[in-house]
C-alpha cells in the first residue's frame, strides 16, 4: 500500500510531466492557439507563480538577513563609539572641575603670601557619626606639625591632630571637640565656634547685648593661636535668645562643604623673626 503522501507526490510529478509535454506540443503551433494551449497555460501558471513567489521570498529573506547583520555590526560600532565619547566627556569634565578647584586654591595662595602653604589631597574620612576627621597625603616628611591649620579658599577646614611620615589626620571644625575663637565681621562681636558633629556649628559665649543678624559673616579672630585672623568660618543662620542668661545661642552654617573636600592647604605658621642684638 502506498501512503497518501507518496500518491500526492507522484500525482504532482505526472501533472508536471504532462504539462511539459503539452507545452512542447503547443510550442510548435504558436500561430494557431487551441484548447491544448489554454489547458497547458492554466496548468503551468499556478506552478510558475508558486516557484517565482518562493524565489522572491528567498531572495528577500536573504537580503534582509545580510541587512540585519550589517545593521548589527553598525549598531555595535556606534555603541562602542558612544561609550568612548561618554568616557572622554567624563574625563574632560573631571579635568575641568579639578582645574577650577586648583585655580581657586592658587588664588587663595596668592592672597596669603605671608604664610607657607602646602597643598594636600584628601585620601580618607572617618566613617563614624560622632568623630569628624579626615586623612590627607602629607605628613612630617613634608614639614607638617600638630596644630597646623587646614584651609581651603572658601574658609577653615580644621587642624592637624596626628601625623606620620607621609600622612596626617585632620580634626574638622564641625567636630564636637573643635573650637575656633571667632568674631562677627560686621560688628566685631566675639565668641567661640563649637562643632556639633553635623553640617553646622554654634557661635557660643556671645553676649545678649551684642548685635547679631541673620547672614552676618563669622571669621577667625586669630586669638586662639591656631588660625590666622580673618579666615572665613560661616554665616549666621539662626539666632535664639532665651528669657534668661547673659549669652545668645547662635547657629552658624559653614562656608566649606565638608562632604565635597578633595584638595586642601595646610597653613604653616610664619616663623618668628630673630631678635636683633
Same domain, 9 and 101: yes
Q: Which of residues 68, 86, 111 is at a domain's end?
A: 111
Residue 273 lies in a domain: no
pLDDT of residue 85: 77
Give the contacts of 168 (CB within 8 A, at least 6 positions apart). Answer: 120, 135, 136, 138, 139, 144, 160, 162, 266
Q: What is the domain extent for residue 32?
A: 1-111
What does the mean pLDDT of the chain come to? 78
Q: Which three cell numbers stand for residue 13?
A: 510529478
Confidence band of 57 (pLDDT split at 50, 70, 90): confident
H helix or E strand, kind and range, residue 13: helix 4-27
Q: Is the pTM of the predicted complex or chain greater than 0.75?
A: no
Q: Which of 6-20, 159-173, 238-252 has the highest mean pLDDT?
A: 159-173
Report residue 133 CA to chain centroid gap: 24
As a whole-number percent, the residues of the chain with pLDDT over 90 amount to 29
Q: What is the DSSP string of 154-210?
A: TEEEEEEEEE-SS-EEEEETTSTT-EEEEEETTT--EEEEEE-SSS-EEEEEEETTS
* Closest listed residue to residue 168, CA positions, set 187, 186, 145: 145
* Digit-coded pLDDT (tens) for 18-41: 666 665 655 555 555 556 556 656
Q: Which of residues 111, 135, 169 is at a domain's end?
A: 111
Three-state DSSP state, 176: coil
Q: Which of residues 93, 111, 129 is at a domain's end?
A: 111
* Closest listed residue to residue 27, CA positions, set 4, 44, 8: 44
pLDDT of residue 241: 72
Amino acid at each position: 500500500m502506498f501512503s497518501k503522501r507518496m500518491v500526492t507526490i507522484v500525482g504532482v510529478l505526472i501533472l508536471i510531466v504532462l504539462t511539459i509535454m503539452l507545452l512542447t506540443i503547443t510550442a510548435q503551433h504558436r500561430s494557431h492557439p487551441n484548447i491544448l494551449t489554454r489547458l497547458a497555460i492554466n496548468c503551468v501558471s499556478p506552478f510558475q507563480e508558486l516557484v517565482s513567489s518562493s524565489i522572491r521570498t528567498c531572495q528577500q529573506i536573504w537580503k534582509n538577513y545580510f541587512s540585519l547583520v550589517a545593521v548589527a555590526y553598525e549598531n555595535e560600532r556606534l555603541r562602542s563609539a558612544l561609550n568612548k565619547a561618554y568616557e572622554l566627556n567624563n574625563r574632560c569634565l573631571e579635568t575641568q572641575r579639578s582645574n577650577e578647584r586648583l585655580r581657586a586654591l592658587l588664588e587663595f595662595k596668592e592672597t596669603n603670601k605671608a604664610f607657607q602653604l602646602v597643598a594636600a589631597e584628601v585620601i580618607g574620612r572617618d566613617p563614624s557619626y560622632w568623630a569628624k576627621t579626615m586623612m590627607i597625603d602629607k605628613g612630617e616628611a613634608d614639614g607638617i606639625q600638630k596644630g597646623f591649620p587646614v584651609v581651603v579658599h572658601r574658609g577653615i577646614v580644621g587642624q592637624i591632630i596626628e601625623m606620620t611620615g607621609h600622612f596626617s589626620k585632620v580634626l574638622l571644625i564641625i567636630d564636637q571637640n573643635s573650637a575656633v575663637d571667632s568674631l562677627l565681621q560686621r560688628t566685631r562681636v566675639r565668641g567661640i565656634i563649637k562643632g556639633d558633629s553635623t553640617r553646622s556649628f554654634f557661635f557660643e559665649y556671645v553676649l545678649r547685648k551684642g548685635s547679631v543678624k541673620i547672614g552676618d559673616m563669622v571669621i577667625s579672630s586669630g586669638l586662639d593661636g591656631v588660625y590666622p585672623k580673618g579666615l572665613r568660618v560661616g554665616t549666621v543662620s539662626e539666632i535664639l535668645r532665651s528669657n534668661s542668661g547673659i549669652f545668645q545661642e547662635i547657629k552658624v552654617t559653614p562656608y566649606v562643604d565638608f562632604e565635597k573636600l578633595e584638595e586642601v592647604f595646610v597653613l604653616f605658621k610664619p616663623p618668628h623673626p630673630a631678635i636683633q642684638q
